Homo-oligomer: A and B are copies of this chain.
Amino acid sequence: MTVRGTDGHDAVSGSGTVGSAAAGRCAADDPVTAQGGTGGGGATRALILDAALASFRERGYDRTTMRGIAQSAHVSLGNAYYYFDSKEVLVQEFYATIQDGHRRRAAEALQHSVFADRLRGVLHAGIDEMAPYHAFAGSFLKTAILPSSPASPFSGESTAAREAAIGLFREVVEGSAGGISEALARDLPELLWLAYLGITLFWVGDRSPDQIRTRRLVDTTSRLISRLLPLSRIPGLRSVTADIHALLVEMRQPMPQATQARGSRTR
């Protein structure tokens, strides 16, 4: 697939920077100077990004170096930092591509109409998509889970990544045939995403062959959740469902914080 260079670092594989959510310091979608010269300017950014993604895919996080990325992209080290503030934002770009893949795979499972099947399919799709990177998952997650930066589970900054993930589970809920109350349908996607988060955490540590234990966990979890849903209709359990809702509301409100300079609504 990729042309091998002298030290395995020369290859630049893709061409299209895959996603589009890429929005660095210099907006690539604003073609003010993108046309200058023989393709330099804005194209450089894509070059670096492609090299980074390829390296992440082939070598994982730890063994991908900024110097290697720069070399693959035929730019200087400093230039890579000109477009991407840190290695971390590069890895977030990588997550975005994985999430794209997840969504693509999930589409198939979303053909089903039974909730349990839909959920199970989407969860398995996620694991399928991540499978190639299981060996590196540990070092990846290290920079992902943390609320210090955008792609964290909680954290007020409305990450596009998180919204997209929750949106996927919203599809799971909304397309289901069974009667899910409207109130529940509002909370459920977030809860499912939380469950998916836990499963992912488990998956990272799962050393069983082909991560079969995580697959079992997915089966068990989706069965459990689908059995749990009807219970919300039982009058005697109203108080607990209300509690769960309250808990979610508690978690949901964006964290108030000092560094709110970044535009939070536009874009």
Interface residue ranges, A against B (CB under 8 Å): 138-139, 141-143, 145-148, 152-156, 194, 198, 201-202, 204-208, 213, 216-217, 220-221, 223-224, 227-228, 231, 237, 239-240, 243-244, 246-247, 250-251, 253, 255-258
Contact = CB atoms under 8 A, between A and B. Distances in A.
Contacts of A153: 201, 205
Contact of A240 (B198, B217, B224): B224
A205 B258 CA distance: 13
A115 to B, nearest CB: 15
Contact of A142 (B143, B155, B208): B143
Given A227-B239, A239-B227, A205 B250 contact: no
Number of copies: 2
Nearest to A155: B205
A33 B244 CA distance: 57
Contact of A247 (B221, B255, B256): B221
A243 B217 CA distance: 11
Contacts of A145: 141-142, 145-146, 201
Given A194-B198, A224-B247, 13 more contacts: A142-B142, A145-B145, A147-B201, A153-B201, A154-B202, A154-B204, A154-B205, A156-B207, A206-B255, A208-B256, A216-B250, A220-B247, A220-B250
